[in-house]
Amino acid sequence: MNKEFNVAIAGATGAVGIEMIQTLERRNFPVKNLRLLASARSVGKKLSYKGVEITVEELTHDSFKGVDIALFSAGGDISKEYAKSVVDAGAVMIDNSSAFRMDDSVPLVIPEVNPEDIKLHQGIIANPNCTTIIMLVAVNPLHKAKKLKRLVAATYQATSGAGAKGMDELLVQTRQALDEKPIEPKFFAHRIAFNLIPHIDAFNANGYTKEELKMVNESRKMLHCPELKISCTCVRVPILRAHSEALNMEFAEDVSVEEVRAILRNAPGVTLVDDIANKSYPMPLDATDQGNVLVGRIRQDISRDDRKGIDMFISGDQILKGAALNAVQIAELI
């Protein structure tokens, strides 16, 4: 008889929490009992799981008695506040916030990249930043084959990465712009409709944002390459869902476009979309609601005198693979 697990979702009414519920159902995770937890204002709300209405309960320190796996997507402060209660109750916390990602005692895991790190957990496993997940699912197979030395990334991040308020602001401002009405930014630092904002999260003293440094530091941790050279520019773009990234990579060994395609064609979590003759390449609309990362526009870096450089473009659903799906895949490995 297959074992079943008591699962709790903290932050169940948010976009990622709802996606977690749907992902558990879609992947037929062996759930015995599902407990949906949120703040007091959401108590009593009903959410559907496998055709059954489950009432949302208030998240408290006593919520984890009898729970085996607790999926958290309620923000870093909440994760820090409740971590001890989860672990003391004997559950494993899979945390979607940045609270524990760079904690040396907490494994940071993408199942397609470093599943072996899960066994090091002491009750908490961290889910990486969404842009890092999407990038490393595509980059890791190449790193394993040719050893990555340097990576430069430019991201094109959807407003959903900033939550429901970000998406709402894009929709409201787009209507205002089309109706030629005045636009006053309320959530983003600047107007997002028909614009790009090269600013995601707070700026660091070195001019990089926290989002950009997350990609640098998290990649080094998961690839176990503390000296890996990475530089990122993260940009908010006026679309609703799915992030894209332009990647320039330098490898220790020569690599051809044909080799890259062959490696990625068989890579877990990757869908190769690379047929320029038929105008086929990764786009966020196509990546939306897809569990895999789309990879294409693969080409040799013509700025180099050797064959160690590759450029490519990727798109991935940051709410799904970049958050909920990755967390559920970690639970499956547990």
Alpha-carbon span 255 to 148, nearest angstrom: 11
Q: What is the pLDDT of residue 67?
A: 98
Both 123 and 138 in one domain: the answer is no
Enumerate the H helices of 271-324 as residue ranges. Answer: 284-287
User: Is 130 labeled as catalytic in the residue annotation?
Assistant: yes
How many domains in the chain? 2
From first to last of its 334 residues, the chain has per-residue pLDDT tens of: 479 999 999 999 998 999 999 999 999 999 999 999 999 999 999 999 999 999 999 999 999 999 999 999 999 999 999 999 999 999 999 999 999 999 999 999 999 999 999 999 999 999 999 999 999 999 999 999 999 999 999 999 999 999 889 999 999 999 999 999 999 999 999 999 999 999 999 999 999 999 999 999 999 999 999 999 999 999 999 999 999 999 999 999 999 999 999 999 999 999 999 999 999 999 999 999 999 999 999 999 999 999 999 999 999 999 999 999 999 999 999 9
CATH number at residue 184: 3.30.360.10
Distance CA 32, CA 209 (A): 42
Of 130, 143, 232, 234, which one is the catalytic site residue? 130
pTM of the model: 0.95
Choosing from 121, 143, 232, 243, the catalytic residue is 243
Could you tell me if 238 and 142 lie in one domain?
yes
Q: Say whether 232 is catalytic.
A: no
Asked if 160 and 15 count as a contact pair (C-beta separation under 8 A), the reply is yes
Q: What is the pLDDT of residue 163?
A: 86
Do both 139 and 88 map to the same domain? no
151 and 37 in a common domain: no
Name the 3-class secondary structure at 33.
strand
Task: Find the domain containing 139 and state its range.
Answer: 132-318
The CATH number of whichever domain residue 18 belongs to comes to: 3.40.50.720
